[in-house]
Chains A and B, each alone.
Chain A
């Protein structure tokens, strides 16, 4: 059972379940490509003209635009991956994403806004696992010929400071 737009209790339709399933699958696939180091596939989950950003909550709350990562379009996302593979120096690490509380709002038949919480646990070469970042995703996804894709993904993080550096996207 779900509320329809008029706030009336309505039957959950098969279409609702399919959409819910599709959006979860997109999120799970997103997490999987990062957490299993298949970063070359990461930009493929976005539209060509996408925006991907990681912004501290203290700036977002004050309406200040600057974050730690801003990719305008898939080419900039691929540049990030190339830089990580070839041009940046950092300690090997893994991420494990935990997400919860997925909510979505239909904008139109082809466009949906999503929000969810995330926690990234980072394990460095000392073998310790620590909470690296907690935050919330603000996403817009659109239906494309190859399925739902992110047109915009904005990770707004609560954690005040980045420990040492952030090279792998969240």
Chain B
């Protein structure tokens, strides 16, 4: 090497790294706001609910989809699709279009969180054991409905909290299934979706088993949501050759903010996301 070569001048890029409640974030940009500001108070409150005590890592699963990663960011901001695309949800009465819900956004519209409150059941599934879940499709019921039990463990009970932090993070609570999903773009045509499952450090052995049982609900073989990556592939193949035309996402456009915040029948979170995305990327028509 030449005499004036100094390794200090040729190091790797330093990323800005910050963490919140044990979640570690990094950015290449000097202009990204502080992590607390980037998340915003609404999103921090949702993370506080999930990460309220020490966790234990239970393992990961990986799913690969031949579609653009932003189709998945749309997917998690579109609660309307749950009762349509995922028949398991509605058939076994986890979520229906009429389910009471709450839609939460940050001030910019980049991030989003949906909560669903189907039941206050904290009995560990006793109500399910008594076969009170009517089959949505006639004659269909689970022989072992313990897989659907929601054992109360939060101050603010909800069946579902799915929170999407732009660009790559999704944190979910579906009954007692807890996971941090990482969305990894693999070029414009495909992405990998990693589900990192966890429980809490003070879980009983029975609770760990229950979480493993509920790992059946999500991920690549998830009874509830295996269809997501298939659906994004269908959208990809349907839209990739029509880049110069537009689709319409008007559902709930006339509704008040208050109505939109309490209904899953709304595309407002999708519209807000695309507006925020265009702003971040400097894309204006």
Contacts and interface: CB of A to CB of B under 8 A. Distances in A.
By size class, the interface of chain A is 35 or more
B275 interface: no
A79 B208 CA distance: 21
B236 to A, nearest CB: 11
Interface of A: 54, 56, 58-59, 62, 64-73, 75-76, 78-80, 82-83, 86-91, 160-167
Contact of A87 (B59, B137, B233): B137
Interface of B: 57-66, 85-88, 91-92, 137, 140, 142-144, 147, 192, 197, 208, 212-213, 215-216, 219-223, 226-227, 229-231, 233
A160 B62 contact: yes
A76 B221 CA distance: 14
A58 B64 CA distance: 16
Contact of B63 (A67, A80, A83, A164): A164
B223 A83 contact: yes
Contacts of A56: 59-62
A87 B66 contact: no
Interface centre among B61, B223, B231 (most CB of A within 10 A): B61
Contact of A88 (B59, B64, B144, B226): B226
A82 B65 CA distance: 25
A67 B215 contact: yes
A64 B208 CA distance: 11
B229 A87 contact: no
A68 B143 contact: no
B69 to A, nearest CB: 14
Contacts of B140: 82, 86-87
Contact of A165 (B92, B137, B216, B227): B227
Question: Which of B62, B92, B192 has the most chain A CB atoms closer than 10 A to its own CB?
Answer: B62
B220 A72 contact: no
A59 B60 CA distance: 7
Given A65-B212, A66-B197, A167 B58 contact: no
Contacts of B223: 80, 83, 87-88
